Amino acid sequence: MNIDAALSSWEGESAMIRHDRQTGAWFVIAVHSTRLGPAAGGTRAMVYATPGEAVADATRLAGAMTAKMAVAGLPMGGGKSVIGLPAPRAEIDDVTWRRILTLHAQNLAKLHGDYWTGPDVGTNSSDMDTLRQMTGYVFGRSVEAGGPGSSAEATALGVFEAMKAAAVEAGLGQISGRRVLVQGLGAVGARVAQLALRAGARLLVADVDPARCVAAQAQGARLVKTDEVTRTACEVLAPCATGGLIDTEIARTIPCLVIAGAANNLLRGGKTADVLAQRGIVFAPDFVANAGGAIHLVGREVLGWTPDEVLARTMQIGQTLREVFDNARKRGVSTERAAQDLADRQLGAASGSADGN
Ligand code: NAI
Ligand code: PHE
């Protein structure tokens, strides 16, 4: 995809794009909506095939953040930043990384708080500490630097609540005894795997980094090849790597009953959710299931919530999903459609109240 195509098919508010010749990095900040408050969403740093792919990823992810904030009832809009790296993060030296973060901080400052960032794939709390030394508009600093620390734990707890709610909707009842396949054993996925194990699941795991599977295997998990994830029979699939795993074709054959994971924008193509619904596969829309991280960051840093309040709000993700499933069943639409409609209602309600004031 080229930059033209990525932007012309997007209905967001603004996009800032910058290229740094010295490092070869591309910077994109996509602000999708500020209707509910300043836009917020993490900084994703990874290698993209083309700058257009980086812009497309940022714009899609920013839209999902708008829906996530709206459904979670948080007073923020949706945005996302993407840094298209010249090489995988692990191969970038400290000096280059420091320059990349400095330029990103300059970009953030130019938006004057229209967009707040936080950690995402390829960035962590320590990077947020660095950014925050150069600009405001940064969530998710480490506890040592006075921030709320990683959002991964809250995200994993929310995903597990989503998984349980979806299992009930699919007629599976408990997670205990069920085959749960976790794809991606990173900050979130490793915790989801632990929660599933503790609940008595039969765990299957897949990660491109074999070292990450070792601990799970030692606890009895079965290893699945990364290219066989969508062909491996299981009751519950929990995608916790990157998005775009399931397209229409895969949806037609994927041998599971529930899909509930952390990966943002998991489905590819407009009809994929419909195919899953037609096959009776219960899909927990990612922007509902993975809202725990946003609840943690915005709850702690904007709303002044205690960790207990964050936990209570994260646990409500199961209830929100039960309402989404109910609504989808009654209307005969996909769960993705029902969740997006819920987000749109929240956004419409906010615009109505703004008009009225
Ligand atoms: P992470 O970077 O810590 O973990 C990702 C894991 O996936 C790594 O272990 C990596 O080796 C593995 N992986 C990458 N490609 C793979 C593939 N093709 N097959 C199998 N494994 C693969 O990221 P984190 O923080 O755990 O996030 C996971 C997903 O959840 C991301 O898509 C992120 O956007 C999303 N998310 C994360 C939140 C958070 O609070 N960390 C909040 C909401 C969403
Ligand atoms: N990147 C995470 C997400 O997609 C956490 C995050 C939430 C970061 C809100 C910044 C703001 O939910």
Distance 152 CA to ligand 1 centre (A): 10
115: which residues sit within 8 A by CB, 6+ positions away? Answer: 29, 31, 38, 39, 40, 41, 79, 81, 108, 137
Nearest-ligand number for the alpha carbon of 301 = 2
Q: What is the pLDDT along the chain (357 residues), one digit of tens a residue?
A: 899 999 998 999 999 999 999 999 999 999 999 999 999 999 999 999 999 999 999 999 999 999 999 999 999 999 999 999 999 999 999 999 999 999 999 999 999 999 999 999 999 999 999 999 999 999 999 999 999 999 999 999 999 999 999 999 999 999 999 999 999 999 999 999 999 999 999 999 999 999 999 989 999 999 999 999 999 999 999 999 989 999 999 999 999 999 999 999 999 988 999 999 999 999 999 999 999 999 999 999 999 999 999 999 999 999 999 999 999 999 999 999 999 999 999 999 876 544 333
pLDDT the model gives residue 355: 37
> Which numbered ligand comes closest to the C-alpha of 74?
2
User: What is the structure's pLDDT at 326?
Assistant: 98
Pairing assessment for the beta strands 43-46 and 77-84 based on DSSP bridges: parallel
Do the beta carbons of residue 142 and residue 278 sit within 8 Å? no
Rounded distance between C-alpha atoms, residue 207 and residue 228, angstroms: 11
Counting ligands in written order, the one closest to the CA of 210 is: 1
Q: Which atom of ligand 2 is nearest to the CA of 61?
A: 4
Active site residues: 80
Distance CA 78, CA 65 (A): 4
Judged by DSSP in three states, 75 sits in: coil
CA of 350 to the centre of ligand 1 (A): 32
Q: Is the CB of 224 under 6 A from ligand 2?
A: no
Q: Report how far residue 153's alpha carbon sits from residue 144's, in angstroms, rounded to the nearest whole number.
A: 17
What predicted TM-score, i.e. pTM, was given to this entire model? 0.96
- Are residues 101 and 130 in contact, defined by beta-carbon separation less than 8 angstroms? yes
**Residue-level pLDDT at 241:** 96
Q: What is the pLDDT of residue 352?
A: 57
Alpha helices in 44-143 (DSSP H): 51-72, 94-110, 125-134
> Cβ(151) to ligand 2 under 6 A?
yes
User: Cα(257)–Cα(200) distance, rounded to whole angstroms?
Assistant: 18
Residue 139 CB–ligand 2 contact under 6 Å: yes
Find out whether 299 and 147 touch, Cβ atoms under 8 Å.
no
- Position 270 scores a pLDDT of 87
| Ligand 1, atom 43, residue with closest C-alpha | 290
The rounded distance, in Å, linking the Cα atoms of 150 and 25 is: 25
Task: Give the pLDDT of residue 351.
Answer: 67
Q: Is 183 in the pocket of ligand 2 (CB under 6 A)?
A: no
List 78's β-bridge partners, or say none.
Answer: 33, 40
Asked if 206 and 181 count as a contact pair (C-beta separation under 8 A), the reply is yes
User: What residue ranges line ligand 1, CB within 6 angstroms?
Assistant: 120-121, 151-152, 155, 183-189, 206-209, 212, 226, 240-243, 262-264, 290, 293
